[in-house]
Amino acid sequence: MTHIQEIQVNDGSHFPSIAFGTVNVKGAHGLNDVLTAIEAGYRLIDTSTNYNNEGMVGEAIRRSSVPREELMISSKLPGAAHSYDKAIQMIQESLYRIGIDHFDKYLIHWPLPKREKYDEAWQALVDAQKFGLIKTIGVSNFLPEHLDRIIEKTGVTPATNQIERHPYFNNNELVEENKKRGILTESWSPLGREINDVLENETIKNIAEKHDKSPAQVIARWNLQNVCLHVVKASNHIHQQENLNVFDFELSDTEIKEIDGLDKGEAGRVEGQHPNEYEEFD
Ligand SMILES: NC(=O)c1ccc[n+]([C@@H]2O[C@H](COP(=O)([O-])OP(=O)(O)OC[C@H]3O[C@@H](n4cnc5c(N)ncnc54)[C@H](OP(=O)(O)O)[C@@H]3O)[C@@H](O)[C@H]2O)c1
């Protein structure tokens, strides 16, 4: 089993620097995927109410031989629950679904700025943390103006901001904005979700060959060396293990710059989900 290096966030908590992503990880097959991921060494599970799999994640926790205290569960508030009372109830409902008494981390999934309720939602997370329902609170897909608004309104800075980040959309400016505010970046779809061909990219393949590693492992290093938490999904057991086997090599600054150079700007987003425009289904 691989031991994953940890990263500290601004509330003093530590998280594994690699999380197991669960988009489309559902039902009995999904349960098996989460169990094998835990066996391989993943300890931080990234889910969301919108993934319709919180119940399955709870079942995996119960069936796993790893004690609950050694696992970290992170979920996300859906857009339909941005008003304060709904947010508190949603957090409680998600905890009941999973069968745990607190989240190790919990994020607002999308800001939905057109609905103008994300600051209310943030106040609910701040209070839910005080009630003991959540240990670490954060956000996802927040732009600098959204971050500044919730910090100004509550005086509380999110611990993490989970954002789209992969070599074709490196989001480096937002990573820097997060850093400036003491917020850890979590990278979602780091392998491009098999929608783009980043794993076939020649530059990445060449770097991978030099290190005798795979393109997916090179992208993990690119995230880790930029102090970004790598949130990666893999159902294939070999992929699951490969994605953790990344602590025995380092990319040079030149290699990191080469990967940064693959950025395609807005055109590089996997599904064109700009946080100011994207509206979650609810
Ligand atoms: N906050 C948000 O708004 C947001 C949005 C999107 C995603 N996320 C989170 O981020 C997680 C990761 O993103 P994602 O699921 O979209 O996609 P991803 O992790 O970028 O890519 C997953 C795909 O890559 C393949 N893969 C994994 N490891 C591989 C390896 N070593 N070699 C070759 N292929 C490999 C997987 O195949 P197999 O499954 O066959 O192994 C799967 O098809 C999500 O699951 C979710 O938890 C959050």
What is the predicted pLDDT for the residue at 1? 73
Cβ(23) – ligand 1 distance below 6 Å = yes
Cβ(22) – ligand 1 distance below 6 Å = yes
Cβ(145) – ligand 1 distance below 6 Å = no
Coarse DSSP helix, strand, coil percentages of the chain, rounded to the nearest 5 percent? 45, 15, 35
Ligand 1: which of 188, 238, 273 to mutate, judged by most atoms within 8 Å of the beta carbon? 188
Q: Are 135 and 13 in contact (CB under 8 A)?
A: yes
Has residue 281 got a pLDDT over 60?
Answer: no
The values of phi and psi at residue 29, to 5°, are -65, -45
Ligand 1 centroid–CA 188 distance in Å is 8
Whole-model pTM over 0.85: yes
Ligand 1 centroid–CA 2 distance in Å is 19
Q: pLDDT per residue over 161-215, tens digit each?
A: 999 999 999 999 999 999 999 999 999 999 998 788 999 999 999 999 999 999 9
Catalytic residues: 51
> 10 Å Cβ neighbour count for 118?
22
Residues 6+ apart with CB under 8 A from 248: none
Has residue 2 got a pLDDT over 80?
Answer: no
Ligand 1 centroid–CA 120 distance in Å is 30
Tokens read off for 14: 């530590």
What is the predicted pLDDT for the residue at 282? 53
> 10 Å Cβ neighbour count for 86?
18
d(C-alpha 71, C-alpha 16), whole Å: 10
Cβ(186) – ligand 1 distance below 6 Å = no
Q: Whose CA is closest to atom 23 on ligand 1? A: 193
Ligand 1 centroid–CA 235 distance in Å is 9
